[in-house]
Amino acid sequence: DTAVSQTPKYLVTQMGNDKSIKCEQNLGHDTMYWYKQDSKKFLKIMFSYNNKELIINETVPNRFSPKSPDKAHLNLHINSLELGDSAVYFCASRRDALNTGELFFGEGSRLTVL
Amino acid sequence: KNQVEQSPQSLIILEGKNCTLQCNYTVSPFSNLRWYKQDTGRGPVSLTIMTFSENTKSNGRYTATLDADTKQSSLHITASQLSDSASYICVVSADRGSTLGRLYFGRGTQLTVWP
């Protein structure tokens, strides 16, 4: 039974389109994250939610809008897609936002913008 | 500035050989350090956690060390296998104040094991 699942795994779309990536965790964790992994494999934090509340919002264009309907779900909607948005997006969860919890990652969603 | 630096950026070794990956950090105040393994096309998975009081910890063929004075950690892989080919990412957690629970990522070391 997958702990952190995200869909779709692959997404190919045209510039200017709007797309969403969904994430769900069944670990009972309070904190969820979205990370962007570029072509050089660096994982960069985008957003973090704790119990449905936004706690981290890095300098991400406001074309990116996260939504957390409940603490088990964190979705990412992207408007007006640009070529530079092509990357692998990882959802992750942690027991809570404090310092000892292990991050559990999803399998990633590879977004390709043409 | 809180940073995590990993070296080497990439490494190629022959199957059966040992290797050591390095992680230096400037994160303060320090809480803990984790090594994650990321296989190609998969999400990262935690290998081990090192806290301030721990010097060495083993997980099978993986042995992590931590020197909190010099702010360095290493991950030693013994008798490498083809399945060890992956990216190894060092992640440091901050401890107090506005940085409580904040995570700092290294850029990873890409390890390739050849038969």
* pLDDT for residue A1: 67
* pLDDT for residue A107: 96
Structure tokens at A36: 């962007």
* pLDDT for residue B98: 60
pLDDT at B28 over 90: no
CA distance A45 to A36: 7
B79 touches A: beta carbon within 8 Å: no
Numbered residues of chain A with Cβ closer than 8 Å to any chain B Cβ: 4, 40-45, 90, 92, 96-103, 105-108
B49 touches A: beta carbon within 8 Å: yes
Q: pLDDT tens digits, residue range B41-96? A: 999 999 999 988 889 999 999 999 999 999 999 999 999 999 999 999 999 988 76
Q: Which of B43, B100, B110 is facing A90, going by the closest CB pair?
A: B43
CB contact (8 A) between residue B105 and residue A100: no
Read off the pLDDT band of B14 (50, 70, 90).
very high
What are the backbone dihedrals phi and psi of residue A18, each rounded to the nearest 5 degrees, phi first? -110, 135
pLDDT at A7 over 80: yes
* pLDDT for residue A97: 76
CB contact (8 A) between residue A100 and residue B31: yes
Q: pLDDT tens digits, residue range A15-63? A: 999 999 999 999 999 999 999 999 888 999 999 998 888 888 887 889 9
Q: Which of B31, B42, B108 is facing A107, going by the closest CB pair?
A: B42
CA distance A22 to A66: 10
Read off the pLDDT band of A99 (50, 70, 90).
low
CA distance A31 to A3: 14
* Mean pLDDT of the B18-26 span: 97
* pLDDT for residue B100: 62
pLDDT at A80 over 70: yes
Q: What is the mean pLDDT of chain A?
A: 92
**In b/e form, how buried is each residue of B82-107, taking b as 16+ CB within 10 angstroms?**
eebbbbbbbbbbbbeeebebbbbbbb
